[in-house]
Amino acid sequence: SLNPAMAVDIDRIAADPTDIPGPITRTTPDTVVVELETRELVAEIEPGVTFTYMTFNSQIPGPLIRTRVGDTVDLTISNHPENTMPHNIDLHAVRGPGGGAEDTLVMPGETKRITFKVTYPGLFVYHCAVPNLDYHISAGMFGAILVEPEEGLPAVDHEFYLGQHELYTNGQTGEGGHHEFDFEAMAREDPTYVLINGEKYAIGPQGYNDMQMNTGETARVYFAVGGPNLFSSFHPIGSVWDEVYPQGAILSDPHRYVQTTPVLPGSAVIATLSSPVPLPIKLVDHALSRVARKGCLAVIDVQGE
């Protein structure tokens, strides 16, 4: 009953989890320039299964914006002329109307520019917030902005950036063809897919296999949940979170040796891990039917002895 799979506009909608800015070494505030282009693109959820995504910069999650408390962000958002819908951006790091959404509404072909100061530290979600914002987020329009504290974050050997969200379609999970968005399934909070980086098993041996580390090293994971509706019970199979900042709130004391941490829709977490032995660490939402049946998995490859 689905239409045939469509020709894809892009080979991979998943963001590379290692393609992020490095730690900030500055000790004074600066201006961070950010350019976001909204794109509506056909891509594969899994082989033979296509969907018309909406994205920031043609990737899910949108790029990690990296700042330091006191910085000014100079943000330009453009809506690609071939798009069909208005878009904007609400950043949870911003105090202001709609978190910036009011001043960034762009129609296809349009560009807007705002500047704002980041005044409190943490890892914050951003997302499109036009009417039917749940549809835009479900289609892929979310990402994260990191606001480092003045002293920075402790040094680690590796940093990875991932995002979970859920997709509501008129097809069955895994059914070949082009999946159309299903507003009624979204109202019921009954997703067809629950995904990390927008594709089934996007990050690991079957996709981008870039989360690599060695035994004895440390890694920090920046994890954003777009939702629009489900939270993640975020767990590293074969390991434990050494330190967790619940909901991305850096100024609180971290919780230590946490097996599973809640990451709410419209929220994020900063968590670190390490391993004394080589293994694949499988990052999952421990609501395990989402892993076994709906595609929610990302793998860190730990090499060593």
- 247: three-class secondary structure by DSSP: helix
Residue at shortest CB range from Zn ion: 128
Q: Which of 192, 229, 239, 274 binds Na ion (CB under 5 A)?
A: 192
The secondary element (H helix, E strand) that includes residue 41 is strand 31-46
How far is residue 56's CA from residue 40's CA, in Å, rounded to a whole number?
9
How far is residue 88's CA from residue 38's CA, in Å, rounded to a whole number?
9
140 to 179: interface string for Zn ion, x by CB under 5 A: -x---------------x----------------------
Q: Is 279 in the site for its own copies (CB under 8 A)?
A: yes
State the amino acid at position 83 in one-letter form: N
How far is residue 36's CA from residue 225's CA, in Å, rounded to a whole number?
19
Q: Which stretch binds Na ion (CB under 5 A): 84-92, 201-209, 214-222, 294-302?
A: 84-92
Report, in Å, the least distance between residue 1 CB and Zn ion: 28
Q: Is 99 in the site for Zn ion (CB under 5 A)?
A: yes
Matching residue, tokens 């990390």? 196
Q: Which of 33, 111, 209, 293 binds its own copies (CB under 8 A)?
A: 293
Query: 108 is written with which tokens?
Result: 């296809």
Report, in Å, the least distance between residue 278 CB and its own copies: 9
How far is residue 138's CA from residue 5's CA, in Å, rounded to a whole number?
19
Q: Is 69 in the site for Na ion (CB under 5 A)?
A: no
120 to 139: interface string for Cu ion, x by CB under 5 A: --------x-x-----x---
Q: Which stretch binds its own copies (CB under 8 A): 49-57, 76-84, 104-112, 277-285?
A: 277-285
The secondary element (H helix, E strand) that includes residue 289 is helix 289-294
CA nearest neighbour of 290 among 228, 211, 200, 205: 200
How far is residue 270's CA from residue 158's CA, in Å, rounded to a whole number?
13
- 250: three-class secondary structure by DSSP: coil
Q: Which of 85, 237, 249, 250 binds Na ion (CB under 5 A)?
A: 237
Report, in Å, the least distance between residue 239 CB and Zn ion: 8
72 to 111: interface string for its own copies, x by CB under 8 A: ------------------x-xxxxxxxx------------
**Which residues from 37-76 bind its own copies, rule CB under 8 A?**
none
Q: Is 164 in the site for its own copies (CB under 8 A)?
A: no
CA nearest neighbour of 145 among 165, 167, 116: 116
Binding site for Cu ion (CB under 5 A): 87, 128, 130, 136, 141, 266
